[in-house]
């Protein structure tokens, strides 16, 4: 992956969903499905962690179009930190500049730089110290998209 400059788009939440599934829900699945899912989940985390440790660039991603409980970007980011061991800044870069580089769009997006398109959030709390501030909409003091203020105090005010 390093030789070919390949990126990993983490969808840890989809693969590890079995680990947070209720006993009631798990009991409705065939035992062989649960067993296989648990094995795959552990292997996925192990392989992603190894790739990260070797320097493979990590991107933030989810299965949002098909998801339910695991389709939240902020949750995905927290798992990248908690399970893979990425620092908060590395996780945030995986959603911004590293993602822009993967799409070969880093000259247009991915960082707050003169001449680039940028969406900016003003948060209560510092995600570099605690990524969980991204989990609560009330921490989003202001959200600017396409140069316009679109949210205040966690509430959408227009696009």
Six-digit token string for 131:
């990524």
> Rounded CA gap, 93 and 102, in Å?
12
What is the per-residue pLDDT across 10-65, written as a single tens digit (0 to 9) for each?
888 888 888 888 889 889 999 999 899 889 999 999 999 999 999 999 999 876 55
pLDDT of residue 136: 83
Q: Is the pLDDT of residue 100 over 90?
A: yes
pLDDT of residue 133: 92
> Rounded CA gap, 57 and 51, in Å?
8
């Amino acid at each position: 992956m390093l030789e070919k400059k390949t990126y990993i788009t983490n969808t840890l939440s989809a693969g590890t969903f079995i680990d947070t599934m209720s006993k009631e829900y798990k009991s409705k699945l065939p035992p062989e499905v649960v067993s296989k899912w648990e094995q795959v989940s552990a292997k996925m985390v192990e392989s992603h962690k190894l790739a990260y440790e070797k320097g493979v660039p990590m991107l933030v991603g989810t299965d949002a179009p098909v998801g339910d409980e695991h389709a939240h970007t902020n949750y995905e980011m927290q798992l990248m930190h908690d399970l893979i061991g990425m620092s908060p800044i590395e996780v945030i870069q995986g959603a911004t500049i590293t993602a822009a580089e993967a799409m070969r769009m880093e000259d247009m997006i991915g960082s707050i730089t003169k001449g680039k398109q940028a969406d900016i959030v003003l948060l209560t709390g510092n995600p570099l110290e605690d990524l969980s501030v991204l989990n609560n909409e009330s921490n989003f003091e202001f959200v600017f998209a396409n140069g316009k203020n679109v949210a205040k105090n966690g509430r959408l005010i227009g696009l």
